[in-house]
Structure 1
Amino acid sequence: MATSTVSYLWRDQNAFKGFCTGVSLHSHTNQSKETLDFLANLGNKYSLIRPILARLERRAQEKFGLRVNYAAAYWTPPMTPRLAFDLESRQIEDLDLNSMVSITDHDNIEAPMLLRTIPSARRIPVSVEWSVPYGGVQDFHIGVHNLPSNSAKQWMRTLAEFTANPKQARLKEILVALNDEPNVLVVFNHPMWDLFLVGEEKHQFLVNEFLQKYGAFLHALELNGLRNWEENRSVRRLAQQWNMLLISGGDRHGVEPNANINLTNATSFTEFVHEIRRQRLSNVLFMPQYAEPWKHRLLQSTLDAIRDYPDFPQGSRTWDERAYHPDANGVMRPLNEIWPNGRAPFSIHWTIKAVQMLGQGPVSGSLRLAWNEDSQLRVALGEPEG
């Protein structure tokens, strides 16, 4: 029997009492390549967006000889692995809890491998968010935590080979093998997020089909700290339907720490994995930032992505250092190396400035009030108000 508890720090300031450790799961660093392919999907879905994108594509072709390639282009979050690790650890330690942090960049393990050279982070698990193409139209994201150190690179080759050439029979073989690793934790991240906009009905069908085929090899469903209340309520219903455990996953991409964590009395990450897999026990704590209006939090995350950070290491300071696109020769380069004279075109520069203004002073406050979700907070994830 799966036993999941969900608590909210803004309701109960003592919700973490009785636990000795907080676990931060699912966050991203500048080692994570975040695709821009979703822009093309939005353009196909929404008629108002398509002309804007078409104009940008046309100007790129005419002025710079570049054909916009959404599938190849990507951006990276601003925080380095060390900054991200310290951010997540500090939030937990401020509660007088020991901290464990599992960073899951998209399809690579560079961040935990780099962090293992730092004494304070040497015990960080080797983890990844694996992109799993499914049904020919959708991608599912699977959090794979605590890969064995001696075979982690081989595991990454195996996962990458499947992502590049997905075959259903091979997927089962991989998930069975991961499940056979006793210290590995496999989580279905944000399962109800229709990432490629295939439609709610189609997406729900694919999720349930996926769980029917492979649910026995997955250890938990994620309550995502960056998704909205209604979607997380749907995940809770899904977990009840399939008798699966719920687990936290902040999905931080910016500079705000994860909006939820797990509470445990485990003294190592492996011990925490055993608590989830063997005891089927999970205690999720939502942090105060999750009580902020969801649209406001999405705006802040977007602003984090395009904000300048002059104190960060070179390569992470400006948004166009962190966004990449093939140049005229097909070589992937940061945008600030592709712009003429190293500066963004006037129209793009002022578009970015206009978006940045949304996060300043009165404008930001007014948007926050307009997006207030107090009625949503009263029901939280389907529980009566405490």
Structure 2
Amino acid sequence: MKPKSKISSIWNDSTAASSYLSGVSLHSHTSFSEESLTFIHKMFAFVPGLRQVFNYYERQSSLRGLELDFVRAHWRPPLQPRMAYDVELRQIEMLRLEALISITDHDNIGAPMLLRTIPSSRHIPVSVEWTVPFGATELHLGIHNLPSADGHDWMRRFAAYTAAPGEAMLRTILHELDDVPAVLVVLNHPIWDLHRIGHGQHMSEVWRFLEGMGNCIHALELNGLRDARENRKVVQLARETGHLLISGGDRHSLEPNANINLTQAVTFREFVDEIRVERRSHVLFMQQYATPWEQRILHSTLAAVTDYPEFIEGWRRWDDRAFHPDHNGEMRPLSQLWQNGRPPLPLLAAIQLVRMARSRTFSRTFSLAYPGSNNPHAELELL
């Protein structure tokens, strides 16, 4: 059956959701995800003076015998599972729709399994964003609605592949997932060369993956945290491969997903049938997607260095949510690694510089520095 992908934006059609029963939030992250601290290096391009402050702190750490390790170090998104669920719920309910929400942390199903212990949340699908090494690149697969009884067994299989990749093993796993009618498999942000191996080489591997295993991939993701130009390329890829398009907000901070799916389904299983069997999808981009992309990335990144006094004890300070190996190689919160319990002054200065990005003056300056970098009003006429 030929795929029927429809794309709308709330700024062009404020009534787009009026004829639907439910909104579907796909691909969002909670405190169970581990995110790379390499964002610090990206901030050098945005915040004047930050590189010099960071270099000073790196030298001082080395003198104390603690080498900075940005391979193992990571931060975790600020929202606990119920808080993350409620952020998505509120946005969908504002459209007067029933909410179907699939949380996909990196290689971890802890959040949906925890939420399902609440009787009123038993319907929440067990989902994950699986990190898949493939050839010279790395792909991210959104695996939605795993059978809850088998969820941990699937995770062990995913981890075994990630630790020792083999394409025959991957093909077997994907075919077995495809054999479960209730499971939805999405190739997330397929164009994004996450590890910067080179766009041509990355796309060569994406094509090889889709040519060999694309029949087990039920849709390609239009990502709410990637820019409109990249999403246009996903549309073209879907046309060339015959895949359906689907939403995926990729939320990491407090802002709800920048796109959702509109559906007549009232259960997640019915939605999966709509995608897999009926092969139709309606993606709605929300107003936040109209903000220039660089600003959205910057503000999402700020979540890593923001304190939230209203959160639970042990999760309020940014350095409670960031982790680094100690002298023995054990992962510990940064707050436990500081001398006297406070970050060194150079790092505090760097954090303050980053936090300045919230100011209205900085936002205006930033907009002038990156004019028209992402104009979805003009560029998101995708189909």
TM, length-normalised to structure 2? 0.94
- Segment of structure 1 superposing worse, 311-320 or 267-276: 311-320
Whole-angstrom CA distance in 2 between matches of 1:54 and 1:291: 35
Aligned amino acid, residue 28 of structure 1: H
Kept in 2, the 8 Å contact 1:27–1:105? The answer is yes
- Segment of structure 1 superposing worse, 139-148 or 67-76: 67-76
- Aligned CA distance change for structure 1 residues 205 and 50 (closer, same or farther; 3 Å): farther
What's 2:4 paired with?
A: 3
The alpha carbon displacement at 1:67 in A equals 2.0
What's 1:361 paired with?
A: 360
What's 2:18 paired with?
A: 17
The alpha carbon displacement at 1:35 in A equals 2.5
Is 2:61 aligned against 1:28?
no
Whole-angstrom CA distance in 2 between matches of 1:327 and 1:200: 36
The alpha carbon displacement at 1:42 in A equals 11
Kept in 1, the 8 Å contact 2:227–2:374? The answer is no
Deviation string, structure 1 residues 76-110 (Cα, Å, up to 9, x no partner): 00000010000000000011000011000000000
Kept in 2, the 8 Å contact 1:39–1:70? The answer is no
Aligned amino acid, residue 9 of structure 1: I
After superposition, where does 1:156-305 map in structure 2 within 5 Å? Answer: 156-305=155-304
Deviation string, structure 1 residues 27-75 (Cα, Å, up to 9, x no partner): 00001011336778999xxxx9998866544322212x21222221111
Gaps of 5+ in 2: none
Deviation string, structure 1 residues 95-144 (Cα, Å, up to 9, x no partner): 10000110000000000011112244221100000000111x32110000
The alpha carbon displacement at 1:213 in A equals 1.1
Deviation string, structure 1 residues 131-160 (Cα, Å, up to 9, x no partner): 00111x321100000000110110000001
- Aligned CA distance change for structure 1 residues 55 and 362 (closer, same or farther; 3 Å): closer
Structure of greater relative contact order (alpha carbons < 8 Å, 6+ residues apart): 2
Corresponding residue SS for 2:111: helix
After superposition, where does 1:79-98 map in structure 2 within 5 Å? Answer: 79-98=79-98
Corresponding residue SS for 1:210: helix
What's 1:325 paired with?
A: 324
What's 2:348 paired with?
A: 349
Corresponding residue SS for 1:129: strand
After superposition, where does 1:93-172 map in structure 2 within 5 Å? Answer: 93-135=93-135, 137-172=136-171
> What's the C-alpha RMSD, in Å, of the aligned pairs?
2.2
The alpha carbon displacement at 1:368 in A equals 3.5
Whole-angstrom CA distance in 2 between matches of 1:89 and 1:143: 20
Deviation string, structure 1 residues 170-208 (Cα, Å, up to 9, x no partner): 110111111111100000000000000011111111111
Kept in 2, the 8 Å contact 1:296–1:371? The answer is no
TM, length-normalised to structure 1? 0.93
- Aligned CA distance change for structure 1 residues 354 and 75 (closer, same or farther; 3 Å): same
Corresponding residue SS for 1:358: helix
Corresponding residue SS for 2:140: strand
What's 2:71 paired with?
A: 71
The alpha carbon displacement at 1:383 in A equals 4.3
Aligned amino acid, residue 209 of structure 2: F
Whole-angstrom CA distance in 1 between matches of 2:23 and 2:33: 24
Aligned amino acid, residue 197 of structure 1: R
Corresponding residue SS for 1:100: strand
Whole-angstrom CA distance in 2 between matches of 1:150 and 1:375: 43
Whole-angstrom CA distance in 2 between matches of 1:222 and 1:166: 23
Matched positions, count: 378
- Aligned CA distance change for structure 1 residues 175 and 51 (closer, same or farther; 3 Å): farther
